[in-house]
Amino acid sequence: MARPYLGNAKSTIEIIQKYPFTFRKRFGQNFLIDSHVLDKIIESSGISKDDFVLEIGPGIGTMTQYLAEAAREVCAVEVDRDLVPILQETLSQWDNVTVLNQDILKTDLPALVQEFNHGMPIQVVANLPYYITTPIIMNLFESGIPLKSITVMVQKEVAMRMQEGPGSKEYGALSLAVQYYAQPQIMAIVPPNCFMPHPKVSSAVIRLDRYGTPPVQVKDEKFFFSLIRAAFNQRRKTLANALRNDPKLGLDKDKIESVLKECGLDPGVRGERLSLEQFAMLSEAFGQFR
């Protein structure tokens, strides 16, 4: 195979100028132009020649080239049809890459994994559009596809939220959701000048290692996550008030106070103080009223 030749500003500009392409803000397009960062992403992902990799938002194919060198096979899903001709050129030297012009949030992920990897666990590696980072990651987890890990570039603040614990101002519903499914670890901080165009914020590479079994057991995952969202929708209110004010939960004051007491929690506690284990305990305790 050829060696990657993208990953710097000069090559990126040359490719873009050959085509009628303009950066689209609605797609959150910021292309990596630093080969050291690209090497770090590949290293952090731990992919090998045995792995099938799903890449989301390949852009002009910069990281795709690096992935094609490291993995057995790559499937790159790109929503912007104007980038498809560019990808056909930049990836022409690699025969282990398939490009799908699709919206990842509308893609049948189980079918994709079955077709390309016979239903076996995959790796996900991506430089994610910041505006839909959370929906993409949650869709990957909730789709039920077999995952080894997800290694993604995201906004630094979002990466911090994913790995924070109780009591931190960054801790919230995203922290709990990610930590229910995976073990998060920030691998690198990436400054704006590593992208074209430069984003306004710093970024981070984070790896999410999927648990074989979640660290807590709940009978009703849907209610469990509804409980978490309610607790953080009104973050500054006490947990009791936040839960009572959420019409979707349908919990009255007496039920809430009874369960908090049963779980040994202070009525004045805020949701940001509760651990994943405590939310699971609450979810199970509320089950008696449902």
Rounded Cα distance between 232 and 241, Å, is: 11
Backbone angles phi and psi of 94, in degrees to 5: -115, 125
Rounded Cα distance between 119 and 101, Å, is: 21
pLDDT given at position 28: 67
Rounded Cα distance between 184 and 90, Å, is: 32
- Tokens representing residue 155 in the block: 């906004």
User: Is the pLDDT reported for residue 271 higher than 90?
Assistant: yes
pLDDT given at position 123: 98
User: Is the pLDDT reported for residue 235 higher than 90?
Assistant: no
Q: In the predicted model, what is the mean pLDDT of residues 84-99?
A: 96
List of domains in the chain: 9-210 (3.40.50.150), 221-289 (1.10.8.100)
pLDDT given at position 59: 93
> What crossing angle do the helices spanning 133-142 and 173-181 adopt, rounded to 10°?
30
User: Is the pLDDT reported for residue 37 higher than 80?
Assistant: yes
Reported confidence tier of residue 110, pLDDT bands at 50, 70, 90: very high
Reported confidence tier of residue 290, pLDDT bands at 50, 70, 90: low
- Tokens representing residue 176 in the block: 């709990």
As a whole-number percent, the residues of the chain with pLDDT over 90 amount to 81
Question: Could you report the per-residue pLDDT of 150-161, keeping only the tens digit for each?
Answer: 999 999 999 999
Rounded Cα distance between 251 and 245, Å, is: 9
Reported confidence tier of residue 250, pLDDT bands at 50, 70, 90: confident
pLDDT given at position 282: 96
Question: Is the bond leading into 197 cis (omega within 30 degrees of zero)?
Answer: yes
Mean pLDDT in the chain? 93
pLDDT given at position 5: 87
Reported confidence tier of residue 19, pLDDT bands at 50, 70, 90: confident
User: Is the pLDDT reported for residue 135 higher than 80?
Assistant: yes
Question: Could you report the per-residue pLDDT of 115-133, keeping only the tens digit for each?
Answer: 999 999 999 999 998 889 9
Reported confidence tier of residue 24, pLDDT bands at 50, 70, 90: low
Sign of the Cα torsion 137, 139, 144, 146 reads negative
